[in-house]
A and B are shown apart, each in its own frame.
Chain A
Amino acid sequence: MSKKIIFENRERDVTHNVSTMSIPTRCKTLSMLRRRSLFVLMLLCFCSFSLMAQKRVTGIVTDPMGDPVPGTNVVEKGTLNGTITDVTGAYTLEVTGANATLLFSFIGYTSQEILVGERSIINVVLSEDTQSLDELIVVGYGTTRRRNLIGAVEQISGDIVAERANMNVSRSLQGQVPGMTITLADGKPSRNASISLRGTSSIGAGGSALILIDGVEAHGDLTTVNPADIESISVLKDASSAAIYGAKGAFGVVLITTKKASEGKARVNYNGGVSMHKRIFEPDLVWNGLQWTDGWYKSYIEGQGTAPAGINNVFKYNADWYNELVKRDADPTLEKVRVNQNGEYEYFGNTNWFDIIYKDHTLSTEHNLSVSGGTEKAKYYVSGRYFNQGGIYTEGNEDFTQYNFRAKGSLQLSKQIMVENNTDFIRRSIHQPMVMYDRQLLPRMLQHQGYPMTMPKNPDGTWTETAVYIGWAGFVEGTSYQHNNKFDLKNTTTVTYTPIKQLILKADYSYYFNYSERDRVENMYDYYTGPLFKGTRHTFNSLEHQGYNNEYQASNFTANYMPEFNNPDHKLNILAGVNTEHKYTRNHSMYRRGLIYEQKPTFALMDGDYYTLNQTGSEWSYAGLLYRVNYSFKDRYLMEMSGRYDGSSKFPSNQRFGFFPSGQLGWIVSDESFMSGTKKWLDMFKLRFTAGSLGNGAVDPFLYMSNMTIGRTSAIIDGALQSYTYAPDNVPSTLTWETNTTYDVGFDFLALRNRLSLVFDYYHRYTTDMFTIGVELPAVFGATVPKGNNADLKTKGWEVSLQWQDYFNVAGKPLNYSIRGMLWDSRSWVTKYNNALKSLGTYSTTYYEGMEIGELWGYRVEGLFRDQDDINNHADQSAIRVSAQNILAPGDLKFADLNEDGFINNGANTADDPGDRRIVGNTSIRYNYGVNLGLNWNGIGLSAVIQGIGKRDWYPRTESAYFWGQYDRPYSFMLQLHTTDNVWTEENQNYDAYWPRYRGYLSGSGKSMGVINDRYLQNAAYVRLKNMQVDYSFNSKICNLLHVQDLRLYVAGENLWTWSPMFKVTRNFDPEVIGAGDVDFRSTSGTDGEGYGYPQQATYTFGINVTF
């Protein structure tokens, strides 16, 4: 197996990877299959070109048990001459002569080469391939072989993310790692994901998975790494695997390893593509002006009891206008604008603002180029990438651009010393149009002002007040926007010194520098409310600049000792090291009103009185001692101990240090002699037990010091804004690590010649001393009781992954396929919390002992009131208001008096006395799953990723107008789904209707739709076809003609199909990104409507991958 012929080499890869035991991931497998198919394809091509043969060889290929192995590839080495064994394992091949060498290979077996010589019958016994178990898995401060792995670690290949049309890799990782839940707030290309491993692990300090790129902390940001650079992604899920990261690994660790410099002549790879993006969900709204106005009027009267004086605050409403609207609605030939006797414009439009504002589709392009090569002593890998995606709006020049550059090299200075360097920099620029008014979101402004009757422009081409108010004028004129720039530079230098074979000393030093800036320009626009009536919104224009500087340094020193024993049954590997880290952050913000020239936003050209200047920042240091000891006996009994002693500057000196140990035990049961009977079908069965603890110190720095915060007043004192301050916060009496202890039991099962694999893990995790509120004191204390290490949490969960891979012949050619399913779940309960009364918050924000994380308390709705008698005979429901007058009427929601006290209320608002509320649901994400499918035949590949969640409850927030429509504010969107008989009306008297009497403000706080209840609780589970890809690899003949090594074309789609149980009620939401708000602008999630974030898009990509 030594000669380096490219085909052989690949075939070797294939065998060992496809049969990879425990958790070979879809993409890795697929890529192997692709390569395999390429090989087969070429082989077949060659067959058809068949050169004259001089000698015929026949034989039978069997496995060690003597059973035939059909489908084995038999190739004459160095040629394209070959065949495949039949169902009896037999083959026949004409070879060039006695010097020919036959190469036998098959999935799951070690390939063999046999010199033909004088023989004409060559029977071969293929031995099972064990190399999959020798695959190197990246773990903390090193690698280990798959066979020896005990912890819950998942490694996936970088291929999985390289060819997905995503600016950031986190989207591509969804549904790929059991136990890893990735949620994205919205569909913005630059949006960083929130990565949670194994559910909620802290309700105190909080935190997220530690992400390391080539061993250096990425500060939680997965958006900057070039997906094409990634060699592998390794996820350390249990505490014992992450223990070597001590106090930073409490939420699991994601290790991203970039591609290595490889020896040989320069290899140039280009991968690029162009994608088209299209919004997946568009709310189904009423855009007819008259229909909308009738809905508005009805819901207003029902909600307020009195007549409206106008539509919200600026659109004038009176009988004249309405009568004219009726007339013009009936006759569409009439103008949609008129000037009334006061000289004001009146509008009668049927404007679909979404059509005006949103593009049908947008494009993105990506180009990746990498070069690698070198000699035995000096190797290099250099890559660059350009990514650009356009905006979703028809105007406003929205744009996302990112450049990546990476250079890696290694130099073997002497036999003992190697120096490596890894430099990475990125430059990103994002330009987004912005609503000037309070930096609100455009859908929010449309909800409040974008009625169908309004129009963007007046007949003379001037802006209408609506167009200016909602921010659209600013989009079109391009002078209100946010611009972000980001520049990151990272450098790691590593020296490895190997004084003797058994000892490796390694030292590295990393430096990370980041400068990010955010500029916001807000301008005023003129509008006309009549041909002669000019107005301006808003009252000022402004420029804001925020600059963020981050500097981070880390260094590691490790010693790795692997003694050799006379008895080879014993294997020992000891690692010990020191790690230090320091981060310094300094931010500046400047804001001033009064641009002299709106097209030239600079502080040099401003004259406003109002300005602010501020500086914030933080600084912290960590230091830790780490160790890991691996011991195995007979390669069958595995043991690992690791741990870390950590110190953090965030804690006072007497509580600064913590020790976090862990241990692992593994037993490869299938290697035991008593299991010999199962050898025929069982490839491996390994039992794993781990236990470990980790710290979490993700609190703000300086919490233990008493400091004065000095700010600038908004109050005008002596004619100006002044400095002010107030009493310092109380200092916590305890402030130290949260501890996170996990017990994990699992097994790996591999059978039927590596075709079936099953991995299972079950765990309990105890998070203790979480940094949460202190023992409540009487309010006269006058301050929030300082937080302390006060609360505990328990989590139970499991993960399973099952894979089957095989092939069968179609039209004489093998069709390889694989299917992999993953399912995981976890639940968490608060086991200790300072809430003696068990009082319930308003929106699951308060914890109490015994509470399950995510639980939702709500009322039960019995139905709709039928008549006044029904109302009179029912319990007193006045605590849940229906209108300003609060007088119930038929068609209103009827709540169940569960505690039968004659009143519908929330009792003492405690878990023990919740009144008529019960737990009606849970917002936690449950039953995550992912399914990967791969198919490969004759150079054609097909793959698919399906991802989803099995359970998640969602109660729409009070201002979610895509759900509540005019039940929210009367002047909100009118939903098409509220125009059917499924809404109770005086006319239809439909008591089975889902929607009650059409009252405005009914979804408001404390109102009957605003209080959580079981009727409008939605099941936001979903299943989504995340990715589907078809590719074609050209055969070598064509490649040779084109002077390239490899050439592959692919077409891929993202987010192609979605289904959710909530679609029964509404299709106005993307169940994956329901959340409210957009952190780039005003961040008021909870009050802003859900579904207003940047839309997720379906993406269609055409790409090419070529290697020279």
Chain B
Amino acid sequence: MVLFGTVLSFGLLSCQDFLTVYPENQMSSEEFLQTEKDMEIYCNGFIQRILPGGLSLCYADANSDNVATRTSTSFLIGDTWRPEDQGGWSWTTLRDINWYLDNLPRAKSNVSEATYNHYEGVGRFWRAYFYYDMVKTFGDVPWYDHELQSTDHEALYKPRDSREFVMDKILEDLNFASQYCSSDIKVVTSSTKISRWVALAFKARVCLLEGTYRKYHTELGLQNSANKFLNEAAGACEALMQESPYKLVADGDVKTQYRSLFTNDDLNTREVILGVAYKTGVRMHNVTWYTLSASAGSSWSMTKQFVNQYLMLDGTRFTDKTGYEVMSYTEEFKNRDNRMAQTLLSPDYERKVNGTVRPVAPEWGITNTGYEIIKWIIDDDVHIGMTTSVNSLPLFRFGEVLLNYAEAKAELGEMSEAVWNQTIKPLRERAGVNGAVPATYDPYLAAYYLNQTTDKWILEVRRERAVEMASEQVRYDDIMRWKMGELLELPWYGIYIGELNKGYDFNGDGTIDLTVSTTGSASTSRVVLGSAFRLSEGDHGYIDYGYNINRMWINRKYLRPIPTSALQMNPNLGQNPGWGE
């Protein structure tokens, strides 16, 4: 009866022991965050979970004024957006960050002060990163700098904190991060980790946004503090320009060096401060596929109004040329800023098709304006239909720092030729454009920006920013901070069409690339006017795509509504102006 005895003792005597088991593949959270390795592992999680990649990075401008898409965001359609439709009220990331910052002191005794401060700085950088996005979206938001417990009722149900308060907190975090985050070569070299330079670049972006937002959004009554943020932005840029190792990539071919920043396999660590890296077989994205696929993408295309902003190589304005309004696609690319043909599919564009490089014209079905975006794609059709793109994608780069600096200075009224020569000039020269200071303001741009300003510096900085940063995730924010929402109603004009039923050969390869007609069936080389297309002058003019999509700007749209579900949970949040009670 040994067995009986065994069973009995097994089952009864050591019952609690028998019923206590621990996981063998996980670390207890109490034992974690003790060493530098733990902190590093946790901070990798921020990069893994927070940073955008692929499409969300390359096409974040899709809903701005510059880009026509097949399906516009419903947020812009008429007066249809309701608080029920609103998402984005997610706070998981903040808990993740605050849990880290709350528990970090455990490691304090195990690492040097500098190391500890670096890792605290990284955590605070991400908190600022999170809140920046929330403030841009919702304006006032509740501020939390500790992990909430389910019993913290007061905090859970508190009203929103003011934009001013939250922005000051963000600034505190960013100041800490840009002071204490490491600038050690180990952290900086790959452009994939948070360093002091990343913190400064981000701080410049945040402060520029807030400074201009306060300046132009007079309804907030915060104009007085606008300059504080503009000065912070300028200061951050100066630190980068003077102390950091970053430079513009500008010693190569003016026809290719700009685009190489976006299409190369590796991040160009000379200019790129932080980026998202890709590698064959290890991590790949589908931007080329989505851009060039007939069915997958949203036919993102640039608008004529945007394309007009590219300067001539001699530094003169395209819109000052006589007859610019009726210039054909083939003509308008001549002698333009070299960034234009590096951003858009030009008459000279070639792509590898079936292994052979050959001219490729805009395809109607991929583009709806004729201005097909090539900035992010690989010029080889093997990527069409496969998630195989491995070009690494910049997120913060030195070019933007120069633009931020120039704009902060211009908005502060401190722009000068010296500042110009440090910022706009080298950017233009990198693209082969004469970088001389313009003598007068550009009336085309002034009109484009609804005559908000005739300050030539401000307008030229805006041009430069639009052109340099096209499709780099900043345009929508720019429109919002400049209070230029009306631009989102602009028609999506495409290339100029002189006459109906005429076959156009865009790149001189002998095949007809486009016929616009009122009958027949639409194809990749035939646009049929009707439900989606018309010409701006009826039988000639700009292709006017999506004219019947009722895009409508209403000033309340500068802020998103607090989602209904969030208000139902906590009525103390209150709704944003114009979105209901």
Contact = CB atoms under 8 A, between A and B. Distances in A.
Q: Answer yes or no: are A and B bound together in one complex.
A: yes
B15 A713 contact: no
A587 to B, nearest CB: 9
A1105 interface: no
A781 B388 CA distance: 38
Contacts of B439: none
Interface string B187-230: 00110110000000000000000000000000000000000000
Contact of A969 (B284, B295, B526): B295
A618 B53 CA distance: 34
Residue among A306, A533, A733 with the highest chain B CB neighbour number at 10 A = A306
B251 to A, nearest CB: 24
A785 interface: yes
A779 B90 contact: yes
Contacts, number: 304
Nearest to A1001: B295
A509 B89 CA distance: 55
A782 interface: yes
A257 B27 CA distance: 43
Contact of B384 (A313, A530, A971): A313
Nearest to A301: B522
Given A304-B70, A617-B25, A707-B27, 12 more contacts: A307-B528, A308-B365, A539-B280, A539-B281, A555-B11, A649-B20, A706-B28, A716-B279, A719-B190, A722-B41, A724-B45, A781-B91
Contacts of B299: 306
Given A578-B11, A778-B570, A313 B293 contact: yes
A716 B147 CA distance: 28
A30 B28 CA distance: 60
B354 to A, nearest CB: 4
A727 B41 contact: no
Contact of A534 (B99, B100, B355): B355
B18 A623 contact: yes
B523 interface: yes
A715 B354 contact: no
A409 B267 CA distance: 71
B15 to A, nearest CB: 6
Given A319-B526, A707-B28, A777 B150 contact: yes
A648 interface: yes
B84 interface: yes
Interface string A613-632: 00111111111000000000
A780 B156 contact: yes
A717 B4 contact: no
Contacts of B53: 715
Give 9 nearest A-B pairs by CB, closest first: A309-B365, A782-B95, A307-B522, A309-B294, A313-B385, A727-B99, A707-B26, A724-B44, A533-B354
A727 to B, nearest CB: 4
B41 to A, nearest CB: 5
Given A533-B355, A909-B84, A309 B15 contact: no
Contacts of A313: 289, 293-296, 384-385
B447 interface: no
Nearest to B187: A718
Nearest to A529: B354
Interface stretch (B175-183, B309-317, B452-460, B561-569): B561-569
Interface string B1-14: 10110111011100
B564 to A, nearest CB: 7
A306 B532 contact: yes
A6 interface: no
Nearest to B93: A782
A618 B41 contact: no
Contacts of B294: 308-313, 317
B23 A707 contact: yes
A669 interface: no
Given A724-B44, A780-B144, A306 B32 contact: no
Contacts of B289: 313
Contact of A721 (B3, B282, B569): B282
Interface string A584-612: 00100000011000000000000011100
B3 A780 contact: no
Interface string A821-841: 000000000000000010100
User: What is the interface residue range for chain B against chain A?
Assistant: 35 or more
Contact of B47 (A653, A715, A780): A715
Interface string B85-119: 00001111111101110000000000000000000
B71 interface: yes
Contact of A507 (B4, B355, B388, B531): B4
Interface of A: 297, 301, 304-314, 317-319, 342-344, 469, 495, 497, 505, 507, 509, 529-530, 533-535, 537-540, 555-557, 578-580, 582, 586, 593-594, 608-610, 615-623, 647-649, 653, 656, 701-702, 705-710, 713-719, 721-728, 730, 733, 774, 776-783, 785-786, 837, 839, 878-879, 884-885, 887, 908-909, 969-971
Interface in B117-152: 142, 144, 147-148, 150
B4 A780 contact: no
B564 A714 contact: no
B374 interface: no
B156 A777 contact: yes
Interface of B: 1, 3-4, 6-8, 10-12, 15-16, 18-30, 32, 40-42, 44-45, 47-49, 51, 53, 70-71, 80, 84, 89-96, 98-100, 142, 144, 147-148, 150, 155-157, 189-190, 192-193, 276-284, 289, 293-296, 299, 353-355, 363-366, 368, 382, 384-386, 388, 521-528, 531-533, 546, 548-549, 564-566, 568-570
A716 B354 contact: no
Given A307-B522, A616-B25, A707-B27, A781 B148 contact: yes
B282 A619 contact: no
27 contacts: A301-B522, A307-B528, A342-B353, A343-B354, A539-B280, A556-B7, A557-B7, A579-B11, A616-B25, A623-B19, A706-B30, A707-B29, A708-B27, A709-B26, A710-B26, A713-B44, A714-B283, A715-B47, A716-B278, A717-B44, A725-B42, A727-B99, A728-B29, A780-B144, A782-B96, A837-B568, A885-B549
Nearest to B279: A716
B156 A309 contact: no
Contacts of B549: 885
A469 B144 CA distance: 50
A675 to B, nearest CB: 47
Contact of A718 (B27, B32, B93, B192): B192
B32 A617 contact: no
Contacts of A908: 84, 564
B295 A715 contact: no
Contacts of B49: 724, 726
Contact of B12 (A344, A578, A724): A578
B281 A717 contact: no
Contacts of B41: 710, 722-725
Contacts of A887: 531, 548
B95 A582 contact: no
A297 B521 contact: yes
Nearest to A915: B84
Contacts of B40: 722
A609 B11 contact: no
Nearest to B572: A778
Contacts of B94: 780, 782
A530 B382 CA distance: 14
Contact of B23 (A537, A705, A730): A705
B565 A839 contact: yes
B532 A580 contact: no
B26 A344 contact: no
A702 B3 contact: no
Contact of A609 (B4, B276, B281, B548): B281
Nearest to A620: B21
A623 B11 contact: yes
B190 A884 contact: no
Given A313-B295, A507-B7, A621-B19, A715 B91 contact: no
